[in-house]
Structure 1
Amino acid sequence: MTEGNGLDRRVPRVRQRLGLLVWLVCATCALVLALGALLVALEADQRIVLVDAVTSGAAMVDLAVFDAGSGVVQFTGEDAAVKNALVNWGLAAAVWLLLGRLLDGLLSR
């Protein structure tokens, strides 16, 4: 057995684990966005540390394009803030999931 054979077996395993890690990070970002949108829809008290942490985290990973306040879709009128958060952060979550699956597939080949 040559040294190259051992390395040849390890590279796909490392790529597969890296793909899984990327997928988990992207799925976590999507989960934070979904929880943030849910907390906004439920009008959770922002003074609660956990609520503030989740909504702040969602604002950090919303890719700036899907901002709950000024994202790609803007509602006006009654409950506009809730609708904006649900739609924009929902779209951002879908993008994170799609990106994660795409990168996982590319890395795991």
Structure 2
Amino acid sequence: MLQDYFSYDERLGIFLPSLKLDWEDYSFDQQQKILTEWEYIRGEIPDLIKRLEFSINDKQEKLNHESDFVLSCKLNSDIADLASIINDLWIWFRSNQQMSNDTKIHG
């Protein structure tokens, strides 16, 4: 069922809604299954964010002691990428729980 309504986002590391129909074209039972699965996925986002924050903190600590300019730039870039992922995960976490035609979520 998961692949019918969700697609895996490699960058974010989670499944995101990928609806092929307008929300109201799904039966009530399908809507409930989709919402239940989305709530399960949403529930895992804070733990994923914590792991990414740990990685940022680790890279920040390495950056604080790095004297090689090229390695410093790489660490800084990695930190920025992780921060961007965290930002996007928070957006998805806070997204409206109800999917409607006005707020339909597509991956």
- Structure 1 and Structure 2 fold alike (TM over 0.5): no
Between structure 1 and structure 2, the one with the greater Rg is 1
* TM score, norm. by length of structure 1: 0.43
* TM score, norm. by length of structure 2: 0.44
Bigger fraction of residues in strand: 2
Bigger fraction of residues in helix: 1
